[in-house]
Amino acid sequence: MADFDSAWKETLDTLLEPFMEFFFPDAYREIDWTQPRDPLEQELQEITPVSEQGRRVADKPVKVRRTNGRVEWVLVHIEFQSQPETAFAKRMYVYNYRLFDRYNQKVASFAILGDDRPDWRPDRFGYELWGTEVGIRFPTAKLLDYARDEAALESNPNPIAVVVLAHLKTLQNAHDDEARRVAQVRLVKGLYGRGFSAEQVRQLYRLMERMMMLPKPLAELAWNEIHEFEKEKGMTFITTAERVGLEKGLAEGLEKGLEKGREEGREEGREEGLLAGIELGLKLRFAVAGLALMSEIRQIQDADLLQQILGSIEQADTPDAVRQVWAKR
């Protein structure tokens, strides 16, 4: 099962500048990238209805400064949508005006449409009543459109082009695990000829693994082929120790939380240990997308429920799958 949401969430968290340059170059040129940017995920959580909070994994509100010579900051609101949704354009409008109302600052909204329906292209919402008109129009990027020229993506030096290719190959081979494995190996091998740094290769490899999720036997087969390719090229950007260490670290983190919980006789001590294990497990399994759950998890005071959450992390495909453990209670 492809984990588009958490993969794009990490992309927005770590590659926002090349993301804007690739998809929305006009806005990119007006943002002062030399200035610090302030993420506003917590603020988005506060203005999001409880019923929708688990679905807002890949949305990104951020405060940026403009390059217009004035001390001016604006809000950039980005939504990634992997499935057609009737109310999507309305939601873009609602979150735009809620952010404006909260900060009294201009808000620019952008949408990435990652679904498999060529004709689904929402870009506006509004209505008119007795002379009153309200609404919004927002720029969109339809990922399917980039499939028309995959050669251009493969030659594009922007790392976002690789993420788009991985997304497209996952859509094209959604029901063919072997074809997805072949595509993943080819894309990873292509990273070494693009001039990326070792850290960029590792980061993009993690994103592709998450997005192009494979059954464990095929994932191991893909890794072995990539590892052999690295040895042939004399490159060790993605080491076996690093890859195996991720799974080992997750198992150790889960056990550490359980062990600390057992050692502490007091209930609050057990909760503290379980929270430590959950936080480490979410970080290793889902990176920043997993850690976003901790603000909700820390509100839980039921040690047995915390232990259920801890135990669910290793088998969960997405952060939202972990969230369902307490959302259904």
- pLDDT tens digits for 71-92? 678 888 899 998 899 999 999 9
Q: Is the pLDDT of residue 5 over 60?
A: yes
Type of residue found at 325 = V
Is the same domain home to 113 and 46? yes
Is the same domain home to 219 and 263? no
Q: Is the pLDDT of residue 240 over 70?
A: no
Please give the residue that has the higher pLDDT: either 140 or 277: 140
Q: Is the pLDDT of residue 304 over 80?
A: no
Note whether residue 305 is domain-resident. Answer: yes
Note whether residue 86 is domain-resident. Answer: yes
Domain termination residue (choose one: 144, 177, 197): 144
Q: Is the pLDDT of residue 6 over 80?
A: no
Domain termination residue (choose one: 144, 159, 177): 144
**Residue whose structure tokens are 């893909």:** 222
Note whether residue 93 is domain-resident. Answer: yes
Note whether residue 328 is domain-resident. Answer: no
Question: Beta strand pairing status for 73-81 and 107-113?
Answer: parallel
Whole-angstrom distance, CA of residue 219 vs CA of residue 206: 12
**Tens-digit pLDDT profile for residues 157-176:** 999 999 999 999 999 998 88
Instruction: Note the pLDDT of residue 239.
Output: 52
Note whether residue 33 is domain-resident. Answer: yes
Type of residue found at 199 = E
Q: Is the pLDDT of residue 323 over 90?
A: no
Task: Please compute, for residue 252, the number of CA atoms within 13 A of its CA located in the half-sphere on the CB side.
Answer: 7
Is the same domain home to 280 and 211? no
If pLDDT is split at 50, 70 and 90, which confidence band does 259 have?
low
If pLDDT is split at 50, 70 and 90, which confidence band does 111 have?
very high
Is the same domain home to 72 and 200? no
If pLDDT is split at 50, 70 and 90, which confidence band does 125 have?
very high
Is the same domain home to 155 and 184? yes
Total domains in the fold of the chain: 3
Is the same domain home to 186 and 234? yes
Note whether residue 130 is domain-resident. Answer: yes
Instruction: Note the pLDDT of residue 109.
Output: 93
Q: Is the pLDDT of residue 48 over 90?
A: no
Is the same domain home to 136 and 19? yes
Is the same domain home to 15 and 139? yes
Is the same domain home to 61 and 76? yes
Euclidean distance between the first and the last CA atom of the chain, given in angstroms as a whole number:
25
Is the same domain home to 221 and 304? no
| Mean pLDDT value across the chain | 80
Note whether residue 309 is domain-resident. Answer: yes
Instruction: Note the pLDDT of residue 299.
Output: 85
Q: Is the pLDDT of residue 152 over 80?
A: yes
Task: Identify which of 121, 99, 123 has the alpha carbon closest to the alpha carbon of residue 46.
Answer: 99
Domain termination residue (choose one: 92, 118, 144): 144
Is the same domain home to 77 and 128? yes
Residue 218 neighbours by CB distance under 10 Å: 16
- Helix (H) or strand (E) segment spanning residue 32: none
Note whether residue 99 is domain-resident. Answer: yes
Is the same domain home to 137 and 154? no
Instruction: Note the pLDDT of residue 129.
Output: 95
Domain span at residue 267? 249-323
Please give the residue that has the higher pLDDT: either 121 or 230: 121
The average pLDDT across 134-148 equals 95
